[in-house]
Amino acid sequence: MAKRIGLLTAGSDCAGMNAAIRGIGKAVSAEKNLELIGFRDGFNGLVEDRTMDLGGGVLSGILTLGGTILGISRNIPQAMPAANGTADLTQNAVDTYKRRKLDALVCIGGKETIKAGLRLSQAGLNVVVLPKAADNDIPGTDKAIGFDTAREIATQAIDRLHSTANATHRIMIVELAGVSAGWLTLGAGLAAGADVILIPEFPYDFGLISAAIGGRQKAGRNFSLVAVAENARSQELVEFMERAARKKAGQQSGSDSAVNAEMERIGKGYSGETMLLARRLEDETSLQSRITILGALVRGGTPTASDRLLATQLAEWGVLMAATGQFGRMAVRMDGAMSSVPLEDVVDKHKLVTADHGWIRGAYQVGTCLGVEISGL
């Protein structure tokens, strides 16, 4: 049974992390045989042995605070910044763990944290991960900490742009986080009544978007709201990237791992798709376009009740996992029930929006343009 538990927050910040820290602290304090040690600034603190005392009323009043009192960093032990690029400092993390005589390490974070947690588990540490992701792209769990708040903030932003779009007769484009998955853009766009929603899972046909906005113009509605994920791409660009990837990988057919890896590498070199979309829409519709990039804005502020509840549930469950020896796993809530999944089952994987998801069907039913035609809907 774990007696000394280490805690860190890693990756990007989001609302609800402090609620999780508080939940873990409360759960630990309820068990007389448990002790909690916090590490500052993510895995940096673990590698450098920088701790924070989480007792003495430190956790009081943080339930409603955004961010994390522990601080955060995107660095992971196996790829820490170094003079000549990166260095594997996994052993430093292991040394700190042993020096502090920890029985378990709870990490609150996203995909990179899962990857680091698996690596530390393989190095012999007892690791439990709590999922957080503003764009909700972590598989194995219904929702990750931070998603509900991000969706609420994004929805309110689109709501506020509606009156401006109407008054100025413009196309208002809102870009939201979503590198691999479009949950945030789809959820907020649908909730706010966006006329066009573009997500990474479905490369868009510009002609369909132009036709949808043109149809609104003919109906006397000389404005439109477009919600677009940061990594949404046109069908033309995706086809070009795939041809280039096949040529680079020396493949003539199929879609093997080499082609996919090359496409990912090529994709990292492309940016400004939202700007290109805005210019094309102006040329096609003669309406002015304006872009609002929410970026990190959706990560801050007071967490919603839903995020506080989820964070508290995951925190309590994570402490239970640590206390009962359920290591190398991620705490999850699936269909309302608390559970856990092995880290190796979710590492380097994405939770994508599928064509048969209820939000997609709902979008089609209310006339939202998704930039693609999906059969069966």
The catalytic residues are 135
Q: Which of 140, 2, 12, 145 is nearest to 76 (CA)?
A: 12
Q: Strands 127-131 and 104-109: what pairing?
A: parallel
* CB neighbours of residue 5 within 10 Å: 25
> For the chain, how far is it from start to end, CA to CA, in angstroms?
51
**DSSP, res 242:** H
Partners of 228 in beta bridges:
175, 198
Task: For residue 224, list its beta bridge partners.
Answer: 171
Q: Return the SS3 of 227.
A: strand
The C-alpha atoms of residue 116 and residue 88 are separated, in whole angstroms, by 11
Helix (H, G, I), strand (E, B) or coil at 96: helix
Are 20 and 113 within 8 A, CB to CB?
no
